[in-house]
Structure 1
Amino acid sequence: MLVSVLAVVAYLFGAIPFGLLVAKSRGVDIRSKGSGNIGATNVFRVVGKGWGTCTFVLDALKGFLPAYAFPKAGACLVEGFSAEWGVLFGLLAIVGHTFPIYLKFKGGKGVATSAGMLLGVAPVAVGVGFVCWLVTVLVSRYVSLGSIIASFAVGITVWVDPREDSIIVQSALSLMSVLVIWLHRANIKRLLNGTENRFGKKKEAAS
């Protein structure tokens, strides 16, 4: 029963559209601007750096708290409550962000929420993924490409890291990486066509 309750709470918490709420607080409907995505990257481009950073942190917390704090809360209530339930709660938060019930199941791509979830269950993979994302964005100026490569790196790292021996965590994070890459399929098409927006270009940000 406790697992079921926490699972539902994780999904509903993950489904909170922080990007939409942050943008609306500035008088902007983020769904009709830029890429139309409610995630931190679009808020960053359209509303501003500070608000985009705020959205990223809030979206990351949606993944971190269910993955890290929910199992600890469960352990306080039920003896023997497994920490591995955090993987399920974190994944449900990502599903909530990607398919939010509040927005007719049309949400973001889950990159920030995935990063928060990873930080809660596999911090080494987060470090590797972040480095890959940062290097890719600095070199290519494509945020989407950085997210795709970071997701792929995370999926590999959880299998080669000797400190990570939970098959549940490894399998779940691999599936999560595949989900994030799949959600970027439109970006992949634009990258192949040479029409993807580059980060930091004023003309593209304005459009």
Structure 2
Amino acid sequence: MSLPSLSAIAPLSYALILAAYLLGSLSGSLLLGRLRGVDIRQQGSGNAGGTNAFRTQGWRFALGVVAIDIGKGALATWLALRYAPVGTGLSVTAHGYLAAMAAVIGHVWPLWHGFRGGKGAATAVGGLLVLWPFCLPLLLAVWLLVLVITGYVGLATVVTAICLPLLAWMVEAGAQRQWFALAAALLIVFTHRGNLQRLRAGTESRFARARLLHRLRGRS
């Protein structure tokens, strides 16, 4: 797939991608945290994501965080598809994938919050919800399986992210979908590098309640 020249891309395309980044920069945990008078980047793991929100603020707060982070990824993607200019250097679908990626980048490095955000997984799910919803049940099954076996949320997210480009390759998805899947997977693995380092060191926090197989063995 040949890349379009910058001069062939309409100004509206740049505006949509920029808007997606700015929308992605609205961090659910930090917005809700302000209402509660807390900054979860100063608590727990220091990450502004759903897992740290759950561990430090409870499941209701975390549910709101995840809803916002998924919603902004879906909204940014939908807006790009809805208002993408036709007949320019970028297809309508390409606008959607670029906007989804821009929203994920905005979540990880948010302009409004000092470029210290979350790890991007929930926002990527929001983009996939619009662009490739049929892959989500399989990815969710992988995530739950790894979580139940190991109890590590970060590891489950990394394994699921790696499965995304593999799935796109296996089903012979189009080039735009494959590039997005690869880019999103690489970014999510990068943002979870601290989790992987702690796993190797044996210091990663485990979500013990999710280790169903371990709990069943303990009762037998």
Q: TM-score, normalised by structure 1?
A: 0.89
**1:71 is aligned with what amino acid?**
L
Q: Which residue of 2 aligns with 1:183?
A: 191
Shift of the alpha carbon at 1:67?
A: 1.8
Which letter does structure 2 place at the counterpart of 1:70?
A
Does residue 173 in structure 1 map to residue 184 in structure 2?
no
1:84 aligned counterpart, secondary structure = helix
Q: Contact 1:111–1:180 (CA<8 Å) still a contact in 2?
A: yes
Aligned partner of 1:197 among 193, 205, 208: 205
**Alpha-carbon distance in 2 for matches of 1:68, 1:127:** 20
1:26 to 8, 12, 36: 36
Match of 2:99 among 89, 92, 100: 89
- Supply the AA of the counterpart residue of 2:102: L
CA contact (8 A) 1:23 1:43 kept: no
1:103-131 Cα offsets, whole Å, 9 max, x none, are 22121110100111122212233222211
Shift of 1:64: 1.2
**Count of aligned pairs:** 196
Q: How does 1:5-154 map to 2 (within 5 A)?
A: 5-74=15-84, 78-79=85-86, 82-154=92-164
Counterpart in the other structure of 1:204? none
Q: CA distance change for structure 1 residues 79 and 172 in 2, over 3 Å: closer, same or farther?
A: closer
Distance 1:173 1:6, change over 3 A: same
Displaced runs of 4 or more, over 4 A: 78-81
Amino acid at match of 1:195: T
Identical pairs, percent: 33
- CA deviations over 1:7-64 (Å, ceiling 9, x no partner): 1110000001211121232232211100011111111111110110110111011211
Larger Rg: 2
Q: Which runs of 5+ in 2 are unaligned?
A: 1-10, 210-220
TM-score (norm 2): 0.84
Q: Distance in 1 between matches of 2:133 and 2:75?
A: 14
Amino acid aligned to 1:9: A
Give RMSD over aligned pairs: 1.6
What is the DSSP-based 3-state SS (H/G/I as helix, E as strand, rest coil) of the residue aligned with 2:119?
Answer: coil
Alignment gaps of 5+ in structure 1:
202-207
Q: Which moved more, 1:63-72 or 1:173-182?
A: 63-72
